[in-house]
Amino acid sequence: MAGGFLGQMFGERPTVPVWNAVTLGQSQTNAVGENQSALPGIENLASGVDTFNQNQLTQLLNSVMPGWSDMANQSSKNTASELKGEIPTDVSQALQSSDAAKALTGGFGGSGLSGNMTAKDLGLTSLNLMQQGQSSLESWTSMVDNMFAPGQFNVSSMFVNPQTEFTDTMQNQEQQFSQQWLSNQVESMANPEATGLWSMLSGMGSGMMSGGGNSGGGGGM
């Protein structure tokens, strides 16, 4: 108790807070865990953003070029037919309705015997059509990528990288350390009330000793 009272009067040595080491390796582990936990939500966000951006761009293309969606669908169907080595249905139907097509089918144009036009009827092989389909697919994919890719949501942009995790952890710990160190200093300071009481008692004691000395001197006279 005496030590505590003296500490309140004169103050005590403040306790230095404990500093927890921060390593880049641990920050990396923390970042990976945080990204994995946040990934489902980020994926949902990305899906919603991508769908919205694609719909907006499609509406714009249809506005600038009416029927763009129908043309895009037909182009996709034509490419699929070519990749199978088949003539696109619309091309086959158009050729069968012509006089040249009727001649090629032996005069059976328009009947069930003519069937669908084949690559051979046009002087092509299935391999020719498949190669053309592959080329069309590459061109189509490149065009779609150029149009839609810029509006795609970058999932990795939402990830916490280890360096950011390290810096953030270090800054937070420094702030906590400084706050705790200041708190410890304040707690270790002398109590103003105890200091005032001590000063008063010291003054009274000094006065009493001074007064007693004077009284003793007077008795000698």
Task: Summarize pLDDT for 95-114 with one digit per residue, the tens.
Answer: 666 555 555 555 544 444 44
As for how many domains the chain has, the answer is 1
Q: In the chain, pLDDT over 70 holds for what percent of residues? A: 62
Q: Tell whether the model's pLDDT for residue 47 goes beyond 90.
A: yes
Residue 111 is assigned to a structural domain of this protein: yes
Domain interval for residue 164: 39-168
Q: Which pair of structure tokens corresponds to residue 158?
A: 């939402």
Q: Whole-angstrom Cα distance, residue 203 to residue 196?
A: 10
Q: How far apart are CA 117 and CA 210, in angstroms?
A: 130
In a domain, 195, yes or no: no
pLDDT at 3 > cutoff 80: no
Model pLDDT for residues 189-217, shown as the tens digit of each residue: 766 666 666 666 666 666 555 555 555 55
Sign of the torsion formed by the C-alpha atoms of 57, 59, 62 and 68: positive
Q: Look at residue 77 and tell me if it is in a domain.
A: yes
Backbone angles phi, psi at 14, to 5 degrees: -70, 150
* Residue 6 covered by a domain: no
30 is a domain residue: no
Residue 156 located in a structural domain: yes
Does 31 reside within a domain? Answer: no
pLDDT of residue 114: 47
User: Quick check: 71 pLDDT over 80?
Assistant: yes
Specify the pTM.
Answer: 0.52
- Separation of alpha carbons 70 and 126, rounded Å: 26
Three-state SS across 54-80? HHHHHHHHHHHCCCHHHHHHHHHHHHH
Say if 201 falls within a structural domain: no
